[in-house]
């Protein structure tokens, strides 16, 4: 979970009013260490600010590694008596599903390796020696964790560090979507940190919701798009290494560093961005992270083993040109 900001900043606007018709509302603010934007159509004003504040507070209390008294932080610090809530259990079970389907490439216990290599916002790549890697691999492996019958997390190795950052943002969007569904809202677009759920239509113009996939070549401060999509009743998540790829001095080709959780070693990958459509945003978020770890060819292989997942993969081809692999099901969402 990304760092939560002090307090929840919400901008809430009522945009249109037509007697007897649903009205357009928007909400925007900061939460879970990122920003969110919501547009929805409802026949009456809803307590959105209060609802979002409650959702973000509960999720942070359960799964924020930046909140010292959260359940996940206390579990990471060795407290074996924590009974986790339903949010934690749902994310744990989805993580286990993707961990198994990806052959271990999606692994919420990989954080210790990430830190050892110096990966982060500044991409300070370092190379730990073989002894360090072997030592850390003792604590890597989601299969070394289990949920007990009384809702506690049991570890095979006490020092395992659990981090749901790669999937919890998508889960938060799904929880927000349920909040709107339970209040009879049929048309909305929820975006949180670039992940989103679209339901129904944009009734302003009676059309599908229009969303974009970022261009990984964009410079700092820019916002350029690779493509635009039309979505209805879909969840979309993108994982990428924007502005974090390098150029091989020998081949001249672009690549990024990614950690192989099975070996503990960092390897070069030409996959720069993975955008995923799935039945919910929790899965889309987790699969997008898995594909980035798998790389292009292994991602294609995994797609043959799973159902209900469509992808748009941007990778560096020969001559440093961007190439795109698009699954058949994804193509129908792209604007001509």
Q: Taking the domains of the chain in order of start, what are their residue ranges?
A: 209-331
Instruction: Assign 3-class secondary structure to 47-95.
Output: CHHHHHHHHHHHHHHHHCCCCCCCHHHHHHCCCCCCCCCHHHHHHHHHH
Phi, psi of 319 (to 5 degrees): 70, 20
196 to 122, 171, 192, 282, 318: CA distances (angstroms): 26, 10, 6, 10, 32
pLDDT at 9: 41
pLDDT at 147: 98
The single-letter DSSP state of residue 334 is B
For residue 39, pLDDT over 60 is answered with: yes
Q: What's the pLDDT band for 21 if we cut at 50, 70, 90? A: confident
Residue-wise pLDDT for 99-153, tens only, equals 999 999 999 999 899 888 876 545 566 678 999 999 999 999 999 999 999 999 9
Phi, psi of 99 (to 5 degrees): -55, -45
Kindly compute the dihedral angle of the four CA atoms of residues 175, 308, 291, 92, in this order, to the nearest 10 degrees: 40
Q: How far apart are CA 92 and CA 95, in angstroms?
A: 5
Element (H, E) at 266: strand 266-269
pLDDT at 14: 47
Fold of 209-331: T-fold (3.10.520)
What percentage of the chain carries pLDDT values higher than 90?
A: 72
- Three-state DSSP class for residue 157: coil
Look up the pTM and report it.
0.90
247 to 137, 150, 299, 304: CA distances (angstroms): 29, 50, 22, 31
Residue-wise pLDDT for 280-295, tens only, equals 999 999 999 999 999 9
């Amino acid at each position: 979970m990304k760092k939560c900001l002090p307090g929840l900043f919400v901008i809430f606007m009522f945009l249109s009013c037509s007697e007897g018709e649903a009205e357009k509302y928007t909400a925007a603010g900061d939460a879970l260490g990122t920003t969110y934007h919501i547009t929805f159509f409802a026949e009456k004003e809803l307590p959105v600010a209060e609802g979002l504040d409650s959702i973000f507070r509960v999720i942070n209390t359960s799964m924020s590694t930046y909140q010292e008294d959260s359940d996940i932080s206390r579990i990471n610090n060795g407290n074996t008596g924590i009974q986790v809530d339903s949010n934690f259990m749902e994310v744990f079970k989805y993580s286990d599903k993707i961990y198994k389907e990806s052959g271990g490439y999606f692994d919420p216990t990989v954080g210790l390796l990430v830190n050892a290599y110096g990966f982060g916002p500044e991409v300070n790549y370092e190379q730990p020696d073989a002894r360090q890697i072997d030592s850390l691999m003792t604590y890597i492996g989601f299969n070394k964790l289990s949920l007990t019958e009384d809702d506690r997390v049991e570890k095979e190795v006490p020092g395992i560090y659990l981090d749901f950052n790669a999937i919890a943002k998508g889960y938060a969007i799904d929880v927000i979507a349920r909040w709107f569904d339970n209040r009879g809202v049929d048309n909305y677009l929820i975006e949180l940190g670039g992940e989103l759920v679209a339901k129904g239509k944009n009734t302003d113009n009676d059309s599908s919701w229009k969303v974009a996939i970022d261009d990984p070549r964009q410079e700092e401060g820019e916002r350029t798009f690779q493509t635009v999509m039309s979505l209805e009743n879909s969840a979309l998540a993108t994982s990428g290494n924007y502005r974090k790829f390098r150029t091989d001095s020998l081949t001249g080709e672009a690549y990024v560093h990614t950690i192989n959780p099975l070996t503990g070693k960092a390897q070069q990958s030409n996959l720069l961005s993975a955008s995923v459509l799935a039945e919910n945003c929790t899965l889309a978020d987790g699969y997008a992270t898995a594909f980035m770890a798998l790389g292009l060819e292994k991602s294609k292989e995994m797609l043959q083993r799973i159902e209900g997942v469509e992808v748009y993969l941007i990778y560096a081809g020969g001559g440093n040109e961007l190439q795109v692999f698009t699954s058949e099901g994804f193509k129908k969402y792209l604007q001509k």
